[in-house]
Every structure is written in C-alpha cells, then in structure tokens.
C-alpha cells in the first residue's frame, strides 16, 4: 500500500508564517468571541419576550398586562 503524505507539519518559516504571539492572540480572540456569542444567544433567548412586554407597557395608551398577553 502507498503511504499518504501529510503536509500539515511541513511548513516553512517565511513571510506568511505567524509567530507564537499572533497565534495565541488569534486563538484568544476566537475563544473570546465564541464565549461572547454563546452568552449573547442565551441572553437574547430569555430576554426578548420580557423586553417586548416592557416596551408594550410603556407605550400610549397604557394597556393592562392581560391585554398584552392575550392573543386577541
């Protein structure tokens, strides 16, 4: 059987290669953005309906809470 050649570990250091500082900064940014997006998703999921109710209760004419929650 023929063996497969892997090019992942055979990079040459040149103009396009990044130093360890840039890799760690990129990785840190990627981890932070992933963490932030997960938190934003949870906040949006549980906060959207209460936000709409609060906005509706502060509008004119002032409706009662049961009027906001009823489908009619």
For the full predicted model, state whether its pTM sits above 0.75. no
Long-range contacts of 64-72 (CB under 8 A, 24+ apart): none
Percent of the chain with pLDDT over 70: 67
CA angle (39 as vertex; 50, 45 as ends), nearest 5:
30
Count the neighbouring beta carbons within 10 Å of the beta carbon of residue 56: 14
Q: Give the start-to-end residue ranges of the domains of the chain.
A: 21-69
* Tens digit of each residue's pLDDT (9 = 90 or more) over 29-62: 999 999 999 999 999 999 998 998 888 888 888 8
């Amino acid at each position: 059987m023929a063996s497969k050649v892997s090019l992942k570990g055979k990079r040459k250091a040149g103009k396009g290669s990044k130093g360890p500082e840039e890799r760690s900064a990129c990785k840190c940014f990627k981890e932070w953005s992933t963490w932030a997006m997960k938190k934003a998703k949870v906040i949006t999921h549980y906060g959207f309906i209460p936000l709409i109710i609060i906005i509706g209760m502060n509008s004119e004419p002032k409706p009662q809470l049961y009027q906001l929650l009823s489908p009619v």
